[in-house]
Structure 1
Amino acid sequence: METTAAVAREIGGPFSLESVTLADPAADEIVVEIAGVGLCHTDLAAKDGHLPFPLPGVLGHEGSGVVVAVGDGVTKVVPGDKVVLSFNSCGRCAQCRAGEPAYCVRFMALNFAGARTDGSNTLHLGDIALGSEFFGQSSFARHAIAHERNVVKVADDLPLSLLGPLGCGVQTGAGAVMNSLDCKRGSTLLVLGGGSVGLSAVMAAAVRELATVIVVEPHAQRRDLALSLGATHAVDPAVGPLAEQVRAILPDGVDHAIDTTGIVPVLEQAMLSLANRGRLGIIGVPADPSAALPLNLIQAQVIGVTVLGIVEGGSDPDVFVPYLLDLYRAGRFPFDKLITTRPFSEIDEAVEAQHRGEAVKIVLVHERKAGNPTWN
């Protein structure tokens, strides 16, 4: 079928809206008409060459929409169902069988290779095969092919066009608190970065009833938002050394820290902010793929530090996304407060606005067309 996609033609270049050809769905594949798609730092990291993905290609991995066609082996959804798209996983390795699909041994091949496992591409621009299958979806488009493993069916009472970030950024931040670090009631948390991932962690911390939640964020508006969402303190990193600011609040240090920045000096300050037996969760994607965290071995041994790499919040989307939506319905996880919508056609302008800090999470929405399924 013919559809419209935002094509990244070259590393560091702008997106280009193009008419592209979407393949027919294979047996386990699902065609989704995209209602909205979140703009994530990971998309931009891939476009700018910080993460592996073949260009020209179509990115986008926080899509939500309506199923319009399914392969003959699909039983999970039918045309007309509303879905959130998330990361892909194999379903067969030891991690997937243990309910840990975020650590699937084939994660990179299934989410970054740019083609199906048989080497075919789901998207073409004329005779040019485009990098596709980004996170098993490539949803910077009017239509996307996803897989039975990476769609989550959602109810009709929800604002469909806003739900895509639950499939990555929101579940990553919330899952870091609830799954990966499993922060307990009354414990303390340092969140480095007040973007959508960091603020999702703040909301999860509020649900878990943590005693102290400190957010470090240079933008005053985001600091204010963090406080409104449940943070107890919001720190400006420009005021002084981060570890000193944290220990002025908690002299013994924090139990947990989550980094969303990928900036090594920030991570070093986080290490200095940890309490004995403290844990540091690493989420942020560094601009330099070779970036490494210097670790003082004596310090690490003396305080018993744990450094944990976190992917997708250690989440199983089929379990965790519905849980977050139940919290949202109950008024306990207002992720929609993070979202600003813009027309899909303004994707480049949205990138610049998000870079300037004018919005926490931009969701690009498509106009509805006559005769198409409606979304709210």
Structure 2
Amino acid sequence: MTNDPKRQPIRAAVARTAGQPLQFESATLEAPRDNEVLVRMVATGVCHTDMVIRDQQYKTPLPMILGHEGAGVIEQVGRNVTTVAPGDHVVMAYMYCGLCSPCATGHPAHCANMGPLNFGGGRLDGSSSACCHDGGELHDHFFGQSSFATHAIASELNVVKVPKEVPLELLGPLGCGIQTGAGAVLNAMKVHAGASFAAFGTGAVGLAALMAARVAGATKIIAVDVNSTRLQLALELGATHAINSRETDPVAEIRKITGGGADFTLECSGRAAVLRQAIDSVGLLGTCGIVGATPEGTEASFNVNDVMIPGRRIMGIVQGDVVSRTFIPELIELYRQGRFPFDRLVKFYDFDDVNQAMADSESGVTIKPILRFESAAA
């Protein structure tokens, strides 16, 4: 297969064994199908979910090319593709079917086929684009892209055309982590002017949510974390209050700050104990959103009467419940206006340093790593 002129040679970072570092391998991609595109990668973000799959906290088929915050340049399109063309700059987001009830009603992030399309290791029909250099099986289409490679095959559905005057290497995280936090605030929960909002966890998702709360006009914006450096950054990015939950009971403090409980809270840490705090911090008729990814089978508890009687709402949110094709350009425009400075969250790494970038993300050294490829010139 490696001599097939129709296949694109690539270099990919592959997850082969649960919990082990990614391995760099030579592989190939088949040509894009009728509704697909071939993207030359310029940069890709590293997200917590990449580590979740590497460690098999969510079970997926291995070996697999990970990566799902890709940004690049279209090199080839299938014959039925009409919305992008070779040379276009694109961000790749999550994949969805476009045909189920959630997709048809404007909620593609909650697609009925979200699992197999984003975590199944291939297309919905089970096929994959990638092939090992020796012809062996290699799973791809992680979030419809598998961007930890020099090239990726994506669908026309999950590529978003972006302006060429904005640095393309910066934009990949808008396709997952950043849109998840911002979308949860602006789209799913609809935080409004004058509201109170608290984010539990100040990683990329939580900080994006805090910045979005400021855009929405929330007047009490509360950051909760155990990392004092990140709490300071949260204050610089628009938080009005910062709570170190190792030093202070966040539930009591939020109730004190807001006069009874926040209108909105967002659990971004993926920890069941923190989710309980986020629920208990909500005021009358308030909403707690959940975006933190937990290991499969994780359960959490709450006092039923303390949810029912005050009319609290608990909302599961995937990808901010956004339509990426319209929401990502909105975030880019907010960034250009200086109202959404997500560039302050990022640190760039060479693609070869993917395992170090993952380690730095897990240790808290880096909020949002972005891998740059040698072919980054557009």
Question: Which TM-score tier does this pair reach, normalised by the shorter chain?
Answer: over 0.9
Partner of 2:263: 255
Q: CA deviation at 1:51?
A: 1.6
Partner of 2:190: 182
Check whether the contact 1:53–1:131 (CA below 8 A) recurs between aligned residues.
no
Alignment partner of 1:153 is 2:161: yes
Check whether the contact 1:34–1:66 (CA below 8 A) recurs between aligned residues.
yes
Q: CA deviation at 1:182?
A: 0.1
Partner of 1:85: 92
Q: CA deviation at 1:204?
A: 0.4
Among 216, 219, 226, the residue aligned to 2:224: 216
CA distance in 1, matches of 2:162, 2:374: 21
TM superposition score normalised by structure 1: 0.96
CA distance in 1, matches of 2:115, 2:222: 33
Alignment partner of 1:245 is 2:253: yes
User: Structure 2 matches for 1:35-50, cutoff 5 A?
Assistant: 35-50=42-57
Partner of 1:358: 365
Alignment partner of 1:277 is 2:285: yes
Q: CA deviation at 1:352?
A: 1.1
CA distance in 1, matches of 2:312, 2:142: 34
Q: Secondary structure at the match of 1:364?
A: strand
Q: CA deviation at 1:248?
A: 3.0
Q: Secondary structure at the match of 2:160?
A: strand
CA distance in 2, matches of 1:202, 1:230: 7
Aligned residues: 370
Alignment partner of 1:133 is 2:141: yes
User: Structure 2 matches for 1:29-68, cutoff 5 A?
Assistant: 29-68=36-75
CA distance in 2, matches of 1:161, 1:302: 48
CA distance in 2, matches of 1:207, 1:358: 27
CA distance in 2, matches of 1:217, 1:300: 24
Q: Which stretches of structure 1, 4 residues or more, deviate above 6 A after TM superposition?
A: none
Alignment partner of 1:13 is 2:20: yes
Partner of 1:105: 112
User: Structure 2 matches for 1:331-370, cutoff 5 A?
Assistant: 331-368=338-375
Q: CA deviation at 1:240?
A: 2.8
Q: What is the identity, as a one-letter code, of the residue corresponding to 2:223? A: V
Q: What is the identity, as a one-letter code, of the residue corresponding to 1:120? A: S
Q: Secondary structure at the match of 1:319?
A: helix
Q: Secondary structure at the match of 1:132?
A: coil
Deviations 1:174-200 (A, max 9, x none): 000001100010000110000000000
Check whether the contact 1:32–1:145 (CA below 8 A) recurs between aligned residues.
yes
Check whether the contact 1:112–1:134 (CA below 8 A) recurs between aligned residues.
yes
Partner of 2:3: none
CA distance in 2, matches of 1:213, 1:14: 38
CA distance in 2, matches of 1:116, 1:273: 41
Check whether the contact 1:188–1:212 (CA below 8 A) recurs between aligned residues.
yes
Q: What is the identity, as a one-letter code, of the residue corresponding to 2:293? A: V
Q: Secondary structure at the match of 2:232?
A: helix
Among 75, 78, 101, the residue aligned to 2:82: 75
Check whether the contact 1:112–1:135 (CA below 8 A) recurs between aligned residues.
yes
Check whether the contact 2:279–2:314 (CA below 8 A) recurs between aligned residues.
no
Which ranges in structure 1 are unaligned for 5 or more consecutive residues? none
* Alignment RMSD (CA, Å): 1.1
CA distance in 2, matches of 1:332, 1:49: 37
Deviations 1:129-174 (A, max 9, x none): 1121100000001100000000000111011011000011000000
Deviations 1:208-253 (A, max 9, x none): 1101011111112111111111000111111032212222322311
Deviations 1:111-139 (A, max 9, x none): 11101222222111122211211000000
CA distance in 2, matches of 1:118, 1:176: 31
TM superposition score normalised by structure 2: 0.96
CA distance in 1, matches of 2:35, 2:355: 33
Partner of 1:204: 212
The 10-residue stretch of structure 1 (308-317 or 292-301) with the greater mean CA deviation from structure 2: 292-301
Q: What is the identity, as a one-letter code, of the residue corresponding to 2:209? A: A
Q: What is the identity, as a one-letter code, of the residue corresponding to 1:220? A: S
CA distance in 2, matches of 1:205, 1:250: 15
Deviations 1:77-105 (A, max 9, x none): 11111000000111112221222111111
Q: Secondary structure at the match of 1:129?
A: coil
CA distance in 2, matches of 1:368, 1:106: 34
Check whether the contact 1:175–1:312 (CA below 8 A) recurs between aligned residues.
yes
